[in-house]
Structure 1
């Protein structure tokens, strides 16, 4: 029985992000088929045609599901979902050419079917937009993490568009709203009576709704989703067992601004996604005037670009993709809460925030540090951020982006956030060494001879000379650092000059030698590597 279909489909991994990885786990590696619909298969029924569909296999668990898994695969299923999926069943699914999902035991099949169908229905509404339909669900989940509550996003008619997954306690109102995909009329009437809707429609204000235990209603926060003077909907957050997070209202405000983008885009018949426009602006592939026109900005506005990256050791491509998606959503929410016009997009493995009207870095470092710390806590990997210089107009955002990238490239492990002003010397040195590395014809044979001498004789001429150059010729500080006598340092310096022929009295030769020794250290061409 087919219960939902999207024309172009949605990647399975993207679907999992939308419906919740803790609830459904992918058990077949490297599988990411397009899912175009969802169907339910009872093993007692004759299998139908499941071309491109996610098939929910009900009534059996574990090894018992082997026969229907094979049957669904033969009928063209893109993926199958089973409770208590074993490693043996995963092998059977892989052999049959179908992706296997393991569904958590407490999850009801009708709940899972409803959520999958809603995500796929959203895909149909958002056909043609590159950042996909799961974003409202992803946004709701991100806001739940940042606010510490349970989130739902509604349109102007109080119809539920997306909601967060939650293991927390939910009240009767939230349960009825999600089950019916619309707020109960009795409660909507109370909200009108209390003036909540009037405040939500009046402006960009986070409204607090106090708890009413006699009605089974917990405390809530709400904010209107707006586009100029137009009210598009509402983001609601219900308090759970714990109080709201300290900065819940700020996160909610940023989330509402992003929700407005999604809702407007779903109404549009043509256009390009916000993230695609931002990426095009930063790479120079999209006209700044087009970006400004699409996003309602003045192309002459000043801007600053901030680059975020995750320093993660994993080589698992799906994990990296998931971290990138999480970063993209979280950076969007947080930066929008700080800066109303913040634009966020991704290019490669980095996420970029373009901040219009940012003329100086005062206060920005603190904001970016907060975002980097939240990202690190939420994703479980170290996140660093580089801040470029302010540029005079949106058309120059690419120059600020290039500086932000250079800062990230030059940052060591000790820093989480830095600006180009903090690391200008390191950036200049790094680019100089990169230029030197790319042009081996500029390398001085004298330095190569010195490296070879140390490798052959086990001497310490290179580290001593490099320490002396770093210390600007202060022999005593070099001796203390190397734990040798100053006369030993002087002897090694004379020996280094004799072996290589480098005139250490010539400032230009010292500079050339210094750069090449630094390049040897940063690229690993040390005496140890030469020796072995």
Structure 2
């Protein structure tokens, strides 16, 4: 079977390999897989994806050129060097970068499966989960969505399914009469409310054997249910524990299933994500999406305010659609991608204000997104705006700025740009580098305060923060100026602090700021 390169890339996904260059586009047909090492001299590789084994970095140059010369459609290399990328471009062959820990034989199997079926055959899905849970619990398992549609079920292996299970699997959905009975008993309400294990006794009059069930959730968002029916033998003693673990594993599967966009959209997102972390060349992205290589761009990062990882991932997938709509209204050529639990948009054609400031329309776009997210989903979304950079090639730097803004956002602020928080961000970067350096003056002040309940470090910090103005520092501490003067003299005695030395003042202020930051940082 002939399959486009794009289909193979989507099936493999970022965990296995990512695109580096595709000089002939993403519709290049693949018809086979070939494994080549540096000493091979193959004769016909037409239409093949060539896996270059035994050569990384610049060592892959010769096999890549050889593969292209013999008609390969694409080559896959581990840790390809820039020279290999250039060789692939010059040879007109697509280049894939394979993760170093991926086994070549496993990659060959995956690609062959995609070529034969056109589908992703990575193991470990819901069917495998159902089978595992059935084996561990000793029961018959079905995994259902919130509409009671059967998504996966375990094999019976000789155990007798009851009438409910038989009808559910045959119809791929629970019988309406029984579903109504469960609703009247409040079972669905309990399953939607928490991860509580719900026990249902045997009902011979309804043809129903004993069951246990638990809801699948992403945060407070219900995704479905796992049911375990008792077979010919009682459920194992560990069935409840197995079920609790299973719903948490299933949550990740269902979040991923809900969040996966259409194949073309996913490939576009993968390419944009590769641009933002420097893996994909800017000229490839510019050509693919019609963006000039010298057009100024800015990257904005959006993050949902949730502590639950699964909920954040699900929210990110939903947020991506919201961001895409608003970003497209702002710029027709805006690009959007999702990386882990963050949504990024790259906005081309944005001109920086004087001093590098972000234009007001970009801030307005971010506020529209955060406001729409709050009103539509009740979710708080925060946005960090990177610096406007000269072109797509510099997008990784703008993305880094956007991430740093998110990390430095004050608790009561939802939208900010790098220019708003640059001083704080740079100070945090400087303070982080001081973590491995000791300052005896600051250490002595902190030790004295910890031992005696004094406030010498706080007093010195206040004075330095107020540029040596004793009256202003005392007012900030709500103490009398004479009290502050006494503390400063005490600090000199305890720690040997010399406030007349500019270098000593700066170092002490930085180290005291570092201690204050570390003690107030969220755990």
Deviation of 1:88 (Å)? 2.5
Distance, in Å, in 1 between the alignment partners of 2:171 and 2:430 is: 53
1:392 matched to which residue of 2?
390
Q: Secondary structure at the match of 2:279?
A: coil
CA RMSD of aligned residues (A): 4.2
**Cα 1:100–1:466 shift into 2, 3 Å:** same
Deviation of 1:26 (Å)? 8.6
1:302 matched to which residue of 2?
296
**Cα 1:133–1:302 shift into 2, 3 Å:** same
Deviation of 1:525 (Å)? 7.7
1:459 to 433, 454, 459: 454
2:272 matched to which residue of 1?
278
2:467 to 448, 455, 472: 472
User: Any conservation in 1 of the 2:323–2:336 contact (CA below 8 Å)?
Assistant: yes
2:444 matched to which residue of 1?
449
**Cα 1:378–1:133 shift into 2, 3 Å:** closer
2:309 matched to which residue of 1?
317
User: Any conservation in 1 of the 2:334–2:345 contact (CA below 8 Å)?
Assistant: yes
Distance, in Å, in 1 between the alignment partners of 2:298 and 2:281 is: 18
Distance, in Å, in 2 between the alignment partners of 1:84 and 1:385 is: 35
Distance, in Å, in 1 between the alignment partners of 2:179 and 2:423 is: 60
What whole-Å deviation, never above 9, does each CA across 1:344-383 have from its counterpart, x for those lacking one? 1122322111011112232211221221222233332322
Residues 1:88 and 2:199 aligned together = yes
User: Any conservation in 2 of the 1:324–1:350 contact (CA below 8 Å)?
Assistant: yes
Residues 1:522 and 2:514 aligned together = no
2:488 matched to which residue of 1?
493
What whole-Å deviation, never above 9, does each CA across 1:103-126 have from its counterpart, x for those lacking one? xxxxxxxxxxxxxxxxxxxxxxxx
Q: Secondary structure at the match of 2:411?
A: coil
1:431 matched to which residue of 2?
429
Distance, in Å, in 1 between the alignment partners of 2:325 and 2:125 is: 24
**Cα 1:498–1:300 shift into 2, 3 Å:** same
Q: Secondary structure at the match of 1:56?
A: coil
Deviation of 1:311 (Å)? 2.4
**Cα 1:364–1:455 shift into 2, 3 Å:** same
User: Any conservation in 1 of the 2:405–2:421 contact (CA below 8 Å)?
Assistant: yes
User: Any conservation in 2 of the 1:323–1:379 contact (CA below 8 Å)?
Assistant: no
Distance, in Å, in 2 between the alignment partners of 1:385 and 1:470 is: 29
Q: How does 1:173-322 map to 2 (within 5 A)?
A: 265=264, 273-312=267-306, 314=307, 316-322=308-314
Residues 1:365 and 2:363 aligned together = yes
> Any gaps of 5 or more consecutive residues in structure 1?
13-22, 37-41, 66-81, 103-129, 137-261, 267-271
Distance, in Å, in 2 between the alignment partners of 1:54 and 1:284 is: 49
Q: Secondary structure at the match of 1:523?
A: helix
How many matched pairs?
324
User: Any conservation in 2 of the 1:326–1:379 contact (CA below 8 Å)?
Assistant: no
Deviation of 1:94 (Å)? 5.0
2:324 matched to which residue of 1?
332
Deviation of 1:93 (Å)? 5.0
> Any gaps of 5 or more consecutive residues in structure 2?
1-116, 127-143, 155-160, 192-197, 202-209, 217-223, 228-254, 353-357
Distance, in Å, in 1 between the alignment partners of 2:466 and 2:189 is: 64
Distance, in Å, in 1 between the alignment partners of 2:171 and 2:497 is: 70
Q: Secondary structure at the match of 2:320?
A: helix
Distance, in Å, in 2 between the alignment partners of 1:24 and 1:33 is: 7
Distance, in Å, in 1 between the alignment partners of 2:300 and 2:514 is: 28
Q: Secondary structure at the match of 2:383?
A: strand
